[in-house]
Amino acid sequence: MKATDKLIVVIGVVIIVLAAIGIFLYRPAPRGEGITPAKGKIYAVTWVERTGTAVPDNPDMFAYDKLIFRDIPYTANVTISQYNLKSVRFILKWEDDHTYGLFRKKGLDTLTFEVTAPDGTKKSEDSKGNGTIEFVFDNINPMPAINEIKANSSAEAMEKLRDYYGERWKDEPFKVNVSVDVGESIFRPL
Distances (CA, A) of 149 to 44, 83, 107, 166, 184: 7, 19, 62, 17, 63
Q: What number does CATH give the domain 48-141+167-181?
A: 2.60.120
Choice among 93-97, 100-104, 140-144, 163-167 with the minimum mean pLDDT: 100-104
d(CA 83, CA 140): 11
Q: Provide the whole-model pTM.
A: 0.68
pLDDT at 145 over 60: yes
Confidence of residue 20 (pLDDT cuts 50, 70, 90): low
Radius of gyration of the chain from Cα atoms? Answer: 38
Higher pLDDT, 37 or 119: 119
